[in-house]
Structure 1
């Protein structure tokens, strides 16, 4: 049921003129994709520094709160642009993307990374003054930092795998994989 609704939405989206215009454009799709990749590097580059500091693996003599505060702005700018370009990439190829197991796994990991980030920032603000100059953050923040690194690595890898059609719906797939990928019978 949900797969049918998602497919109907994707077909409606693809029928709009803008979707096909982006997909068929000689340069636009490539520029959007390049911008998406560059802003992933900006966003995750800042995030990696923050997470490594929390784990005590980078810059142990620098205030963890100051690193987080200073890197949050470029990280959020990168995230916003990355998010917008990601939506545009989906908009350009919605019927292909909605039936990708990699896209679905990426979305679950992205949601988990978002929830982890919210928890991390709440914990950071609540306890920052007591450990800010310690080489490592408290255990609960270290767990969030390690989860962040793992989840974002998974988001990047599965995002890259969307382009490959090993498990796409036009291939013969086991029933469970077809359902997970969003395959809809014609």
Structure 2
């Protein structure tokens, strides 16, 4: 059996036993949401610490060592957020899909990912020159500032889902 496409897929997701459990079990949705918020704290917290370092705070911390330390936490947070976000989506797929805050949230996540990719593939290659005690180049600072703004937008849109 093939899964349906488009709006039928959303209705199908909502009709699954898991989606029904998410809606009906008193504590399941709140527990998943708490895990989602914990994942956001790991993901955005580790990203924010790195971005603030690139922007010039704590210049005595080596950028490359900080990246090696924080990146596993970032990926762990991302895995938690992706899994729990998908779980919450199944419970209210049609409602979320039609919510403009959800579309903006997904777009901002995509832009944040593209910004991180551009930073790590491009700008970060020269981090040896500005690793400790020096000012990061303008493109690195721009990527860090954009990253912070995008993640604040993602979090804001996530909260707005409940109100729009």
Query: How far off its partner does 1:93 sit?
Result: 1.0
Query: How far off its partner does 1:125 sit?
Result: 4.0
- Report the Cα distance in structure 2 between the residues aligned to 1:25 and 1:104, rounded to whole angstroms: 27
Moved over 6 A (4+): none
Number of equivalent positions: 160
8 Å CA contact 1:7–1:98 kept in 2: the answer is no
**5+ residue gaps in structure 2?**
none
Mapped pair 1:110 → 2:109: yes
Instruction: Trace 1:29-68 onto structure 2 (pairs within 5 A).
Output: 29-56=29-56, 58-68=57-67
Query: How far off its partner does 1:8 sit?
Result: 2.1
8 Å CA contact 1:123–1:141 kept in 2: the answer is no
- Report the Cα distance in structure 1 between the residues aligned to 2:71 and 2:123, rounded to whole angstroms: 13
TM-score (structure 2 length as normaliser):
0.92
- Report the Cα distance in structure 1 between the residues aligned to 2:80 and 2:152, rounded to whole angstroms: 19
Compute the RMSD of aligned alpha carbons: 1.3
8 Å CA contact 1:54–1:137 kept in 2: the answer is yes
2:76 match: 77
Query: How far off its partner does 1:49 sit?
Result: 0.7
Query: How far off its partner does 1:118 sit?
Result: 0.7
Query: How far off its partner does 1:146 sit?
Result: 0.6
8 Å CA contact 1:53–1:136 kept in 2: the answer is no
Query: How far off its partner does 1:124 sit?
Result: 4.3
TM-score (structure 1 length as normaliser):
0.82
